[in-house]
A and B are shown apart, each in its own frame.
Chain A
Amino acid sequence: MTVEKKYIWLVLLAFFFACNTGNKVAVIPVNDFFKSQDKASYRISPDGKSLSYLKLQDKKQNLFVEDIASGKIVQLTKLQEKNISFHSWVSNDELIYYKEKEGVRFQSDIFIINSEGKDERQLSSNAKARIRVLEDQLIDNKFLLVLSNQRDSTVSDVYRLNVRDGEMQIVAQNPGNITNWMTDSKGKLRMAISSDGVNETFLYRENEAQKFKAIITNNFKTTLFPVAFSENKPNIVYAVSDVNRDKNALIELDCITGKEKSVLFANDTLNVVDAQYSRRKGKMEYVVGETWKKQKHYLDDTAKLFYEKLDKLLPKTEYRVIDRDKNENVFVIRTFTDRNPGSYYLYIAATGKLKKLSDNNSAINEDQMCEMKPISYTSRDGLKINGYLTLPLNTDAKNLPLIVLPHNGPGQRNTWGYNAEVQFFANRGYAVMQINYRGSTGYGKNFYAAGFKQWGGKIQDDIDDGVKWLINQKVANPKKIAIYGSGFGGYIAMSAAIKSPQLYKCAASNSGVLNLFSYLNSIPPFLKSNLQMFYEIVGNPITEADYMSQVSPLFHADKINIPIFITQNIKDPRINTNDALRLVKELKKRNVPVTYFEKEDSHFVSKREESRQKVYSALEQFLDNNLKKK
């Protein structure tokens, strides 16, 4: 070959690569998607001058305090392990922190320390009981409300913890069925919610001297949760409720009668999921309504001004206020988007300045992530079904290989935000469809109830209808569709393999439910009270054994003919490991291609990452073999 020819080849080769890199998306390692910083637990001192946080260095977790103005950092603790569960400012220059460690001896100790890292004192030590903070607001400058099981290891009572001397004084005794407690703005415990597993009862007292009285009882299908006590109206609690309506609304609940007194915000198409109350102003600031994305609806003009300023600084971003100082000037904010796992920011309202504290997952580059877009279609029986579609970067929305990703259940939904699995699949070149099938929460009471006992029935139809809709939109390649899910998502994937094998090329279940009988039978004894609820949602094995065997994939292994991928954690107490083994055996006997993995759930991060790497690499391979190869 002459020299000139060689050069021509080189130039051509260079052109080839240049053209290629234009469209190609870098393949990101599996674990990068799932990495997540341990909770940094940012706290702001009451005067707004200092910021405290936990930091993990070489498996040692320690408490640090930073002076916001000067940036000076002081390390308060010198611990050898990671065991601080919470910390809190108890004055402008004092903090308490709580250590907990499971082991031979249940170590749960509370310490107080000043912000210079001096004068550390142990307030309490209890070898048997655990402590949880109920309200992280200091009452009378020295009391903290905590939950502890020191009286009876199976129930949590409410105590007033003196942060000066560690003394604990019982405030309310839990008869055993209380699941939630609520205090008023002065820190007085006035409301409790009890549950028998199926029905929830609100209990109220006007002051701590009185006894709790039941005021309203609701079935689990109904949503009612308190947001805050009203500052200026006596016996009124702001609550999110769908009592006597389909969608959640923000109401005022009369605590004497248990009746709804007035509606602050309601909309027939909008589901309220949260509301923000300002103790300083004594007012409801806004409600959060969620359709495909969460949106604020302001009830207060100053709040509107305040948050619109923040919205401008953080466009197209969802954020939550984590902590604030007493004057509501200094804030810690947690953000995220569909393409970004999010960050912590420090926001100072007076100056309008935003400062990034840390990233939740610095391995993720927002530009390489894919946008999550809302979709909706009508099911065969006329129900509007919502979902999300994520398309791989740099591709036309045409004839793409598709992964259907039904969410776990029961009583869950997909929301807009960063989802590691979705981004992983999209990065590998697949379109990803998530469907909020009937029975998903967040679309009203009726939609939720419509999914009861429809496992393997109308829920399956909703998924199939979605896939058909996407095929009709020409987005999905009808010959390259896979279905994958975990938990009940895995159940849906396996049922799809049995019910609609013509639609899906292959199906994968990650720790999926394979047998509804086993699922119900594995509910631990301490949740037995919930059993009736599960019977209503999943099916009653005593009276409806026939339906349940009809829709449990394990019973129908003989109908599976498409390639299957199954993982399970054999140490998971919530499953019957024999089920998956039997299914795999049966499929192997019939020469159906099946990939089976036992994964480990380890306490060690490195081992967990290794296991995750293995499972997702195998899954990627499985999908590649079935969707990408001819």
Chain B
Amino acid sequence: MVSEKDSGYRKNFSLIVTFIGLVSAIFILSLFLAYKFSKKNIENDFVSAKANVLEESIKPYNDFFLNKLPEISFYNGYLDSTTASKFVDTILIQYPFITKVVFYDTEVKNENYFDDGINLGNFSVGMKNVYQFSSVGRGEKRKIIGQSQVKNNTTLENFNTVTFKLITFVQKLDTTIVPSQEELFSNFTNIQSNRIDYFNIPSFEILKNYKKMVMNKLEDEPVYQQDMLSFELDPNKIKINNTRPLLYQSVKIVPVTYDPIDTSSEYVSGEITLGGPFSDYKLFFISSKSFIKSEIFSYFLPIAALLLFFYGLLMLVGFLIYRNLNINHKMFKLQYDFITNLTHEFKTPVSVIKIAGNNIKSAASLSSKEQQMYGRILDEEADKLNGLMNKLLAFTQIENKAITLNQDEVNMEDFIESTIEAHTLKHPDFNFTYEVTGFKTFITDPVLLGSLFDNLAENAYKYSPVDHKKLHITARLIKDRIVLRFKDGGIGIPSSEINNIFKKFYRIQNRYNQNGSVGLGLAFCKELVNFMNGEISVKSVVDRGTEFKIVLPYNN
């Protein structure tokens, strides 16, 4: 309450300091928490992103297993060496982890017949030809080994295992229920460590026939074609797709038993087992702690930057609020001053009138000289009061755009001369000159223009030293515009104040306006010019003089 009385405004520096302190504390705390969070997150990532790397790396294999393998069935057992070689060719190029393919061109017969095959009852599966394809080196992608060599060179174990699986399946087949695709796929495929054997899947109708063939010898001695392809896989040739190169320093494929002893405290490591035919192998991830640290920072920095940004934003908003309060304080002070000035302004004529009134009342008689003097005094002071009130009224009216513009023809020279006359009458020491070039008359509101001239002339007189009370007005027509210049030899306006002089209630503190000034003059002028669709500007040099330039539209 005390401070309010002092300045009419509350200023609390401790509040500001508390605000800054609190925001800064929160900022530092959040930075700390963000770092903790980043660290935890990266550590978790190290564990969880392993599955992602596995998934990405094993994708080609899944694609091969789910899409390429069933394609063998499309041929319905009719694959021959040339077609098979073409088929295998694309596979060897597309899937580098396949190193060798053995193609068993097989026949299913209804008799006990094959040397190289398996018989069950009257159902026999035997190979006609065996071909081997492998990727040899870089240039030569495949190599066919003819039938006779392979039979001797390859073990028939794989062939026998899958064939046995097929026969077991046929034997157990329920001919009333169509087996599902998944069931068929699992029974015609054999997945072992580092190899996949695949038999083409015949249609249900043929499977039913197979079943019949086990039990009976059929009349038409059916012969069916089957193809078996055996793929040898090399897990070391799987291309590792390290999706997080900044997290995992090194990823490699190692046997499941791999367990290095030199993983010191300087390193973080992890592993995940490969599935399917690669189940003997795992993906091994290792990163040094400093490597991880840089990843933590790369995660933390954007968060920190974001926090900093918010901190900055908060500070900026705080500063802006402070500045606004400051300005409001100044405005408040101006209005306060205005009321003081206005009261003062009204006080002088009122007290003069009161004295004159008292004198007249108390005087027994008034000489005609006295009467004339009092009359003049009363008249003058009433005029003064009237002028003040008119000015205040006109200003508010103009500001609220409550009056309309009159359009009358004004003769510029006559107009200026009458202004000069009025002012030199009041101030005989006022050196008032003018010149008009380019036009004689123009259309405007003479009352508003008169106010404008009066105010500027009044100012020029007021803010000039006693021996330099002069004003020179030039009026020119330049390109459809009237340019009026009011040049005086007054005290000038400091450049720091030049932006404020047109503001309401603003007064430059100096000795020339100790009393009798409300600080409305120039603000009123600006409102007038704006109202007349013109512009007002000012140039000034301290102690040398001021020049106001008014540009008005020229309507003739």
Closest 10 CB pairs of A and B: A541-B78, A576-B203, A517-B76, A521-B76, A545-B83, A573-B205, A525-B220, A525-B222, A545-B78, A517-B78
A581 to B70, CA, bound (A): 12
Q: For the complex, is A23 an interface residue (Cβ under 8 Å from B)?
A: no
Q: Which of A343-351, A370-378, A547-555 contacts B (4 or more CB under 8 A)?
A: A547-555
A581 to B220, CA, bound (A): 31
Any chain B CB within 8 A of the CB of A626? no
Contact status B203-A521, CB under 8 Å: yes
Given contacts A528-B220, A578-B201, list 18 more A-B pairs with CB under 8 A. Answer: A515-B74, A517-B75, A517-B78, A518-B76, A518-B203, A520-B78, A521-B224, A521-B225, A525-B220, A525-B222, A526-B220, A528-B222, A546-B83, A548-B78, A549-B83, A573-B205, A577-B203, A577-B204
Chain B residues positioned under 8 Å from A573 (CB to CB)? 204-205
A541 contact set on B, CB distance < 8 A: 75-76, 78, 225
From residue 213 to 227 of chain B, which have CB atoms closer than 8 A to chain A?
A: 218-220, 222, 224-225
At the interface, yes or no: A575 with Cβ under 8 Å from chain B?
A: yes
Number of residues on chain A facing chain B (CB within 8 A): 32
Looking at chain A's contact residues, is the secondary structure mostly helix, strand, loop, or mixed? helix
The minimal Cβ–Cβ distance linking B129 to chain A, given in whole angstroms, is 12
CA distance A522 to B184 in the complex (A): 18
By beta carbon, the residue of chain B nearest A519 is B76
* Distance in angstroms between the alpha carbons of A330 and B80 in the assembled complex: 63
Counting CB contacts under 8 A, is B306 at the interface? no
**Complex contacts, B134 vs chain A, CB 8 Å:** none
Q: Which residues of A contact B77 (CB under 8 A)?
A: 517, 521
**Segment 505-540 of A: residues with Cβ below 8 Å from B:** 515, 517-518, 520-522, 524-526, 528
For B385-429 the 0/1 string (1 means CB < 8 A from A) is 000000000000000000000000000000000000000000000
**B187-228 residues at the A interface, CB under 8 angstroms:** 201-206, 209, 218-220, 222, 224-225
State how many angstroms separate the Cβ of B90 from the closest Cβ of chain A. Answer: 12
| Distance of B183 from chain A, by nearest CB (Å) | 12
A578 touches B222 (CB 8 A): no
B75 near A545: Cβ-Cβ < 8 Å = yes
**B296 within 8 Å of A (CB atoms):** no
Chain A contacts of B181 at CB under 8 A? 578, 581
Q: Can you list 13 A-B pairs with a CB-CB distance of less than 8 A?
A: A154-B219, A518-B74, A521-B206, A521-B224, A522-B205, A528-B222, A545-B80, A555-B71, A555-B74, A573-B205, A578-B181, A581-B181, A582-B70
Point out residues on B near A: beta carbons under 8 Å.
67, 70-71, 73-80, 82-83, 86, 178, 181, 184, 201-206, 209, 218-220, 222, 224-225
Could you say which residues of chain B place their CB within 8 Å of the CB of A581? 181
Residue ID in chain B nearest A518 by CB atoms:
B76
Inter-chain CA distance A295–B128, complex, in Å, is 55
- B-contact 0/1 string along A552-591, CB 8 Å cutoff: 1011000000000000001001111111011000100000
A552 to B78, CA, bound (A): 13
Known pairs A546-B82, A577-B204, A581-B181; A525 contacts B76 (CB<8 A): no
* A541 to B73 Cα, complex, angstroms: 14
CB contact between A570 and one of B178, B209, B224 (< 8 Å): that residue:
B178
For A543, list chain B residues within 8 Å (CB): 80
Q: Say whether A542 faces chain B, with CB atoms less than 8 Å apart.
A: yes
With a CB–CB cut-off of 8 A, which chain A residues contact B73?
578
Contacts of A577 in B (CB 8 A): 178, 203-204
Given contacts A517-B75, A581-B181, contact A525 B203 (CB under 8 A): no
Please pick, from B75, B204, B218, the residue contacting A549 in the complex, using a CB distance under 8 A. Answer: B75
Question: Please, how many angstroms separate the alpha-carbon atoms of A578 and B207 in the complex?
Answer: 13
The CA-CA distance from A520 to B75 in the complex, in Å, is 11
Contact residues in A for B79 (Cβ distance below 8 Å) = 545
Residues of A within 8 A of B205 (CB): 522, 524, 573-574
Q: What A residues does B70 contact at CB under 8 A?
A: 582
Decide yes or no: A542 and B78 within 8 Å by CB, A522-B203, A525-B220, A576-B203 being known contacts: yes
Distance between B189 CB and nearest chain A CB, rounded to angstroms: 14
Taking the nearest CB of chain A, how far is it from the CB of B78, in angstroms?
A: 4
Q: Report the Cα distance A549→B178, complex, angstroms.
A: 26
Known A-B contacts A154-B219, A525-B222, A576-B203; A515 and B78 likewise in contact (beta carbons under 8 Å): no
Alpha-carbon gap, A515 to B203, bound state (A): 12
Is the beta-carbon distance between B74 and A549 smaller than 8 angstroms?
Answer: yes
CB nearest neighbor in B for A570: B178
Instruction: Provide the residues of chain A in CB contact with B220, threshold 8 Å.
Output: 525-526, 528
Residues on B with beta carbons closer than 8 Å to the beta carbon of A570: 178
Distance between Cα atoms of A582 and B71 in the complex (Å): 9
Min C-beta distance of B423 to chain A, whole Å: 79
Give the Cβ gap from B128 to chain A, nearest Cβ, in Å: 11
A343 smallest CB distance to B (angstroms)? 40
Kindly state the separation between the CA atoms of A545 and B204 in the bound complex, as whole angstroms.
22
Among B67, B78, B222: residue with most chain A CB under 10 A: B78
A375 to B387, CA, bound (A): 108
Residues in B with CB closer than 8 Å to A548 are: 78
Chain A residues within 8 Å of B74, by CB: 515, 517-518, 549, 552, 554-555, 579, 582
Q: How far is the CB of A190 from chain B (nearest CB, A)?
A: 30
* In contact, A525 and B78 (Cβ under 8 angstroms): no
Give Cα distance in the complex from A579 to B73, angstroms. Answer: 9
Which residues on the A side are within 8 Å of B82 (C-beta)? Answer: 545-546
Complex CA–CA separation, A164 to B249 (angstroms):
99
**Does the CB pair A521–B202 fall under 8 Å?**
yes
Which residue of chain A is the closest to B87 with respect to CB atoms?
A: A549
Contact present for B203 and A575 (CB under 8 Å):
yes
CB distance from B367 to the nearest CB of A (A): 96
Give the one of B67, B75, B83, B222 with max A CB within 10 A: B75
Closest to B73 in A: A578
The answer for the CA separation of A521 and B201 in the assembled complex, in Å, is 12
Residue in chain B with minimal CB distance to A528: B220
Smallest CB gap from A526: residue in B: B220
A52 to B220, CA, bound (A): 43
Determine how close the nearest CB of chain B comes to the CB of A332; give it in whole angstroms. 41
Contacts of A578 in B (CB 8 A): 73, 181, 184, 201, 203
**Chain B residue contacts of A518, Cβ below 8 A:** 74, 76, 203
Closest residue on chain A to residue B67 by CB atoms: A586
Min CB gap B87→A, angstroms: 9
Q: Does the CB pair A576–B76 fall under 8 Å?
A: yes
Interface string of A79-116 (1 = CB under 8 A from B): 00000000000000000000000000000000000000
Tell which of A154, A541, A574 has the most Cβ of chain B within 10 Å: A541
Give Cα A154–Cα B219 distance, bound, in whole angstroms: 10
- Chain A residues with CB under 8 Å of B83's CB are 545-546, 549
**Bound CA span A520–B74, Å:** 12
Name the residue on B nearest A576 (C-beta): B203
What's the nearest-Cβ distance from chain A to residue B425, in Å?
Answer: 82
CA distance A184 to B201 in the complex (A): 52
**Smallest CB separation, A93 vs chain B (Å):** 46
Name the residue on A nearest B83 (C-beta).
A545
Q: A545-B79, A554-B74 are in contact. Are A525 and B178 (CB under 8 A)?
A: no
From residue B406, how far is it (CB to closest CB) to chain A in Å?
A: 57
Kindly list chain B residues whose C-beta atoms are within 8 Å of the C-beta of A554. 74
Instruction: Tell me, rounded to whole Å, the shortest Cβ–Cβ distance linking A52 to chain B.
Output: 40
The CA-CA distance from A521 to B73 in the complex, in Å, is 12
Chain B hits for A546, CB < 8 A:
82-83, 86
Which residue, of B82, B178, B206, B224, has the highest number of chain A Cβ atoms within 10 A? B206
CB distance from B131 to the nearest CB of A (A): 14
A542 to B81, CA, bound (A): 10
A620 to B178, CA, bound (A): 30
Residue of B nearest to A586 (CB): B67
* A546 nearest in chain B by CB position: B83
Max count, chain B CB within 10 A of own CB: residue among A543, A549, A552: A549
**Nearest CB of A to B76, in Å:** 4
Alpha-carbon distance A474/B402, docked complex (angstroms): 76
A408 CA to B70 CA in the complex, in Å? Answer: 28
How near does chain B come to A397, taking the closest CB pair, in angstroms?
A: 42
Which of B67, B73, B203 has most chain A Cβ within 10 Å?
Answer: B203
